[in-house]
Structure 1
């Protein structure tokens, strides 16, 4: 044991003295949604500044020389996302210090197999006693945009896991090829928690679970009997109260309208006629009868005694008649009523 430790110490001193740079340690690939980074741990080296060089070789093309991905790196990682997702590569890294360098340390990288499928974006909405779940992604981000990982693989399913809050042991799952699903036949007014992940059967890959979302269900669309009874009673009360109110309101408006437009007091007819005529002096002083409006009849008086002497008294009767006419004419001119009119 002491001999082995002594030999190791001597080797370390020999390396430091000769200027040989130790190899990078724990070389690994971290890839999520085709965003791939080669990482390693820095070796123990105190002789000066140290940098790194990363190269790649495609196994798909035998004889293809290594291509330098990056050089003079100061960090212990290198982004290799530019490599094709469908390729199969050998990646190698070495440490360098001035004119000295370590040996190459290699690792194999196949993006389609090695990348981790991330969680999708999930939205949950409670409606009519069911939970509506929508999900999309994950996406592979590149310089010119992003594409769903669903386009890279031949088969793709979403797995929905849900359970009642507080009962993680009773988990139900549903697989679907679509980007949404309705979880029905749930208990009303109950909180359910949901997670979604991608499943790729052909590649035997299962994606990461989305963050846990919890949502409470509402009523299941069936209205309870007590709610129906309460609504009916409330409707009846409204009708009972509103009908008398409407009746008395209508009666009050009717009486008010009748009082305004049809008052009970009737204006006298003769005053209406009087006021309807234009004002003039003739309304206060009666007009005198006009001469052209008077009609006269001739009155002839014949005595029984003079019947036998009609011939003799004809001239006298004629004179009497003329005298009466002249007398009536004078009475009319003086405003007196003729004797014939009085009779």
Structure 2
């Protein structure tokens, strides 16, 4: 049973100094665990009971007493911890003495639940070998998903301290998120297309590839302090309807979607790009070029039209336009439209006696030399006069005589 269900057992330890007034301390321990901060050269007694999850509890073992050894010349490092600085994990510890050399090791925590000696399963921490400072940087790809134990040891030449108290490290809870990588590409429709590289695609891989991630993006115009913030699960999206030929900047960070972890990365470095002119700008550019090319003929035409209007108003022509002249081609009508300094006159003929018309018609058959008539010019004043100096009565008597002949 112990061999089959060893991973399901937990152990409760009671420990106290071997004296009547000693205080008993209770701790949960692994099968092979260490009890720290005991007094040197002192006898301690302890007893252990097992618990099989969920509710089966065993009895205490017999009491066991043992005396601790003398204090080591070099004390172990204390207060071992892991701090997140930007996008990296830093292992730190405290030590009172200076000019010491340190090293760190790590172990999968589940090995503690397996009975037996696991001292050979500890692994050296990369970047934390023989360091002269009280901290070292943990490489991003050292820990995957899981729980680990970390310990640190001090040395001074050939003298070494015991290992520090083992620090429990949960990769999901304590590791940092790496900021994403950003690539921005301008498009022809005056937009910016943003590509986000997930942390697992970046050069510095870390355990945050096991999270369900969302991205917080901040977007702004380079010459303005007004920022736009958006949350995206996609790694490919577009900012539309932007100003042409304008520089915009983008930065982003990673957030965990599970509120239990409440983790986020630092923001990435801003990436700035300039938008393209767009089709509208091209249209205006072409229109501007065409307008420039056509401006000289247009100005010339407008100037000619203006001069023509001035000439028509202030210097009118003495003859009507050809369009009017063709409809008024008769001389009397044309004379009405013309402004002349001299009045026009008409020639008209008046026959004084209606009987003379018949006589004249008959005399045309005899010859033109027998025909006599009076002519008279008409003035606009309305006064009429005979062309000859002879009187009316004499002219009237001549016609009967010629008719008799």
Q: Normalising by the residue count of structure 1, what TM-score does the alignment of the two structures yield?
A: 0.49
Please state which structure has a larger fraction of its residues in helix.
1
Pick 1 or 2: higher relative contact order, CA cutoff 8 A, min separation 6.
1
Q: Normalising by the residue count of structure 2, what TM-score does the alignment of the two structures yield?
A: 0.43
